[in-house]
Chains A and B, each alone.
Chain A
Amino acid sequence: MISYITSVATIGAITAILCLGVNVSWGWVGQLDLAYYAYVAVGAYSASVLELPRNIPQPGLNYSYILGLHWPFLLGVAGAAVVGGIVSAIVGTIALRRVRSDYIAIITAVTALMAAAFLGQSPYLFGGQIGTYGIPLPFQSSLNLGTQGYNFFFLGLMLVFLALTYAVLQLLFKSPFGRSLRAVREGDVAASAFGRNLFSVRLRAYIVGGTVGAFGGALFVNYISAWNPSSWNIFEVVLILSGVVVGGRANSIGVIIGSVLVLSIIPEVTRLISVFGGSAADGPAVAALLAALLIIVILRFRPAGLVPERKLTSSEPQAPSAAAANANASLSTRVGA
């Protein structure tokens, strides 16, 4: 039972990170990045080929992968994030030049489908249909914990990474950079008239999203120890998007809540479907169905999401001139004028 909960919690933490990443493009800038899950896959594949040892070709087996640098965990994850950033930079440069938001959505969706076909097909890049496997569990060799203990450790590690991601993204959100993103979202004509280079702003946000996505993918593959084309498809984007839409666009706490709700609770609950006489194999389909319906319902009745966006407020109780006047007044009384 406990290992079930830790497993769900671990995956939940990673999916929360993924949702935070999608939120950068969607919530902060208002651009729909349908290629997001491709970056997750890129991160997973990159971490694999960075952390695995060199491939030893087996005779008769059409299987190989590139690199194989046998890097340690942290380096592998960092490297994967960088690769995600680079790939998203390339895609973003192509996709974001056009201002039409519907074209952006189409190009990114198409890119994702392409990536799916390309990354998964070639047996030389990332192992083709078999994918990558055997990624060593992080730190296991040095820590040498039992299964239970290791699971707790890994969960703790993921929670640390989640907190780190949240903190960094909050820093960005509250900064002038984050404000520029939101201004571009709210009115790009005015944002441009006040000095924002629209393409540059959109691209930078897109790259941040791609980097976080790849980071999440790298963490994922280190947990599952394997990754192949059947573990991902474009529909995953919908699930992740639903976490953001349901939870609260542009609000990081809301996104985490939404992620937990849609991507942890719903799939787990649908596992119980066999109790209700349904076929167990239908579990994922029912989960997807519920998640998608939830998106529609939320957008109909509570479009801002469960936890709405926060705005910057000033807590100064008085206007500056009134404050100055009061200060003068108290000064004069003290001096006894």
Chain B
Amino acid sequence: METRIETRREPDITTAKGRDTILEVRDLVKHYGGVKAVDGCSFNVPRGKLIGLIGPNGAGKSTVVETLSGIVRPDAGKIVFDGAEIQGLPPHKIFRTGMARCFQLARVWPLLSVLENMLVAAPTEGRDTIRAALFSRRRLAVVEKQQRQQALETLERYGLFRLRNDYAFTLSGGQKRLLEFARIAMARPKLALLDEPMAGVNPVLQVQIEEGIGTFLASGMTVLLIEHNLGFIERMCDEVIVMVQGRVAAIGNMTDLRNNSVVQEAYLGGGAYA
């Protein structure tokens, strides 16, 4: 993978042609009052790969995530996901196009059991209507049985099986993080958007999260990972996008990026994160 060193211009998107791109972000702009959180950001994500998104605090990563997942509407720019333009769509519609995410502060549903958390995450395909509840009971029961089985297997894989009947609010922070991953697995999205999953996580849990990401990739999912843990990024990511001050500053693999002067400067004196 060639390292493109950027000074002012965006990476040339045309080189994306020829590779199977699942997500394309073009000239994304989002201002908050006078602050330009995202100021002309462009990148693309190849299908089936693990792509990292890094950058110093304030670079605009969170805003990009919020725009991608539909919580925030961009002021300008395009987001093309699996061939369809999704910028400006509300979160629930974006989920239905096949993008699922986890949150910086794990958002599980507290008064639902762990098992129920999983069942909610499974795609509903029109089954969560009143009509279905009253008149399609048999069909619902069949699907529910399948989903329960799947949920229990997934919970087991993440080591959460014994907690399946507990209220989600009783889980520890790390367990909630794992539940979020299990939920994404249930949702079977095309792209998983992971927002700093390693934040404040102990080493044992880190291993489990790595395994979780590995499972996602093995099942054909694309993963876009926002992280500060550069060692992890280096070990696992196929490609890394570096954002600085609302724009993409560089794209490449981590080893090459370490030697990139722009990236070093952005991370305040270089080597500080090595």
Contacts and interface: CB of A to CB of B under 8 A. Distances in A.
Asked if chains A and B are in direct contact (CB within 8 A), the reply is yes
Interface stretch (A42-50, A100-108, A151-159, A181-189): A181-189
A314 B148 contact: yes
B168 to A, nearest CB: 8
B137 A190 contact: no
A172 interface: yes
Interface in B126-162: 127-130, 132-134, 137, 140, 144, 148-149, 152-153, 156, 161
Nearest to A186: B109
B165 interface: yes
A190 B103 contact: yes
B92 interface: yes
A190 B180 CA distance: 10
Contact of B96 (A176, A182, A190, A195): A195
Nearest to A204: B130
B112 A176 contact: no
Contact of B153 (A176, A189, A320): A320
Interface stretch (A252-260, A270-278, A289-297, A305-313): A305-313
Contact of B112 (A182, A208, A314, A320): A182
Interface in A156-192: 168, 171-172, 175-180, 182-183, 185-187, 189-192
A185 B128 CA distance: 15
Q: Of residues A168, A316, A320, which shows the largest number of chain B Cβ atoms within 10 Å of its Cβ? A: A320
B115 A312 contact: yes
Nearest to B136: A175
Contacts of A178: 133
A197 interface: yes
B247 interface: no
A208 B113 CA distance: 25
Interface in A311-331: 311-314, 316, 319-321
A125 interface: no
Given A176-B124, A187-B109, A195 B115 contact: no
B267 interface: no
Contacts of B120: 179-180, 183, 191, 194
B133 A175 contact: yes
B111 A182 contact: yes
Interface string B234-269: 000000000000000000000000000000000000
Contacts of A194: 92, 95, 100, 120-121, 183, 187
Contacts of B92: 192-198
- Chain B interface mostly: helix
Given A179-B119, A193-B95, A171 B133 contact: yes
Classify chain B's interface size.
35 or more
B101 interface: yes
A203 to B, nearest CB: 11
A177 B111 contact: no
A316 B134 CA distance: 27
B116 to A, nearest CB: 5
Nearest to B152: A320
Contacts of A190: 103, 107-109
Contacts of B109: 182-183, 186-187, 190-191
A183 B148 contact: no
A192 B71 CA distance: 9
B164 interface: yes
Nearest to B124: A176
B69 interface: yes
Contact of A321 (B96, B128, B137, B156): B156
A191 B121 CA distance: 8
B46 interface: no
B90 interface: yes
Given A193-B100, A194-B187, A311 B113 contact: yes
Contact of B69 (A180, A193, A198): A193
Contacts of A176: 119, 124, 127-128, 132-133, 140, 144
Nearest to B144: A176
A172 B156 contact: no
B128 to A, nearest CB: 4
B127 to A, nearest CB: 5
Contact of B116 (A171, A175, A195, A311): A311
Nearest to A183: B120
A314 B91 CA distance: 30
Nearest to B162: A319
Contacts of B127: 176
A320 B133 CA distance: 28
B100 A313 contact: no
Given A192-B92, A196-B92, A172 B164 contact: no
Contacts of B107: 187, 189-190, 193
Contacts of B95: 192-195
B77 interface: no
A51 to B, nearest CB: 26
Given A178-B133, A182-B111, A194-B100, 14 more contacts: A172-B134, A179-B112, A186-B111, A186-B112, A187-B108, A187-B109, A187-B110, A193-B95, A193-B103, A194-B183, A195-B92, A311-B112, A311-B167, A313-B164
17 contacts: A175-B128, A186-B111, A187-B109, A189-B71, A190-B103, A193-B101, A193-B103, A195-B96, A195-B123, A197-B90, A197-B92, A198-B92, A312-B115, A312-B116, A314-B152, A314-B165, A316-B152
Q: Across the A-B interface, give the 9 residue pairs with the lowest CB-CB distance, nearest first.
A: A175-B133, A186-B109, A176-B128, A195-B95, A190-B107, A313-B165, A311-B113, A192-B91, A319-B156
